[in-house]
Structure 1
């Protein structure tokens, strides 16, 4: 779950919400967000949020699913978060950070949820743009290598390991 926490800090500098993004970076880089922190992040529903903030809000919702007891609530949080992430990607399909957020969620989601259809596409985009991003790509790769289901993607796992060694 450290993977999920770390990605909350990987927000783009080019967004209009730079102070909020910077605050999130500092807050979530080294800590696993608590249930209360996730609730605060989820509760921020400004209609003019950037795609990046919206995707991180979606990520927070998928994480919140771990903190609720009811299976219905778990699914509700997960699916609502998934939809926010996917909507962000539809609006900015070539944004490697948004793809990374979805990738981390998919690589850690339980298989029965069936949220794994874009893993290869997202990995391909991320690897292609690895050298072109100002994001902390090395940490992103480490998080992907620690994901629950990365073993199912052995070829990509090896490619990610090579990126770390370059």
Structure 2
């Protein structure tokens, strides 16, 4: 009986956990399509600050993206601050986590200057360019390369390394 209960709990926890590859895809879709933000936001609601820092950073991004669509300026600002707090927590907890830095870069690049959340763009960009060759996940590496090729923060020379030109 004890083993059956443990097996059921393990199975249930595996069904409840988020697949990081799917989260990456959902983030990219939500960042590009406002109609996908609610789905991404809802999928990240169960994430807590005790989980993998990549998921914590994605939860912050989901909150920040959701705030962008809020009706009032106050709700936009409050949501944005909450989202950024998750991203910053993830980076403070694991400063060498390239995925959290990548998420922060994406949010910073797409944030209005009014919110004053652009201070780490150059530092995150340099970190990403330095660490990109060491990423083991092909999906993450391709995800970041694709972002670099479409980003305004990266120079044509930096982009050409990834575009094969």
TM-score range, shorter chain: 0.7 to 0.9
The TM-score normalised by the length of structure 2 is: 0.74
Q: Which runs of 5+ in 2 are unaligned?
A: 1-13
Matched, 1:158 2:156: yes
Higher deviation after alignment, 34-43 or 93-102: 34-43
Matched, 1:81 2:83: yes
Shift of 1:126: 0.3
**Where has structure 1 moved over 4 Å in runs of 4 or more?**
16-19
Shift of 1:141: 3.0
Output the CA distance in 2 between the equivalents of 1:93 and 1:18. 27
Cα 1:35–1:99 change in 2 (3 A) is closer
The TM-score normalised by the length of structure 1 is: 0.74
Output the CA distance in 2 between the equivalents of 1:94 and 1:129. 9
The alignment of Structure 1 onto Structure 2 pairs a total of residues equal to 145
Higher relative contact order (CA 8 A, sep 6+): 1
| Correspondence list, 1:90-109, <5 A | 90-109=92-111
The equivalent of 2:51 in structure 1 is 49
RMSD: 2.8
Q: Which runs of 5+ in 1 are unaligned?
A: 1-15
Larger Rg computed on CA atoms: 2
